[in-house]
Structure 1
């Protein structure tokens, strides 16, 4: 019971922080990373108890990146990060998981969940390293949240499942609003997808 409460409190913290990022293009910094660290840590604890490994992996990674960002260690700035290098293996694994889910639903959805886990982690690393901007980060979060949700449902990890359903919806709304406020152009000239942040 206590671990479920920890999971739900962490979910609320995470969602409040993500709503702030989605509606405020200037919301970022120490408070953002601190609240992500608190939310991630709570979900690691509750997901460990449920042995919901995708949720453990995502939130452990987010906690580490948040901690490094708070410590002033700009993750990813010492080496070249690319979202193209991130996305192609994720899409291959995700598509494979969807196809395999026809034959073996649990294993296929687990593969899809791992693809979404990689996308969540990579997107957060790229965002914290200021390699991608808010709009692309939100788009990746839409795909990752809805991609990991089925395996969390199977695991009966209700705090993480509720978080991902809300997270995906909030990310979608934030992406649509960001897209409306700044039309998409090519990457070299796109103010929403270049190295600096919104």
Structure 2
């Protein structure tokens, strides 16, 4: 039983640690110290929901209907490229990057952006629902595999969002935020273009 839990933990951690749209957003919110706990909770609970759905068989259902994957892929590509454009604009505008003297994003805007980055991202379905769901089926205790995977998600997003505060002193200069937003823009654009291709 412990082996299944640890396997789920390791498999999820490998998949979610890669820099992607969701991780970049959580990092940015953590650095800005804006609505970090709701963002971490949305990401972790969404992963829990998607992991459990994959283990329950949603992955097989989605795989049986490729049109669903295509629609998700194109919607995700449009969203990611749009987010890349916004990040690129922030990277070119120093005044919006400074932590002090900037109007914070509303909780509603932050939550909607987080939900969009989570549920419009086809990689979430491919990795979390299809891949983790399939791997869990190979374990005798698949729900413990899911518990391990969900624990990894909570640990990762909590560490990324809350731990980002330690980087804040390094990122007090507008030039550092420009670099961060530039990297986010490139990652988002690459993911969006990759989905189209």
TM-score range, shorter chain: 0.3 to 0.5
| Larger Cα-atom Rg | 2
> More relative contact order in 1 or in 2 (CA 8 Å, sep 6+)?
2
User: Which one has the bigger helix percentage?
Assistant: 2
TM-score if structure 2 supplies the norm length? 0.35
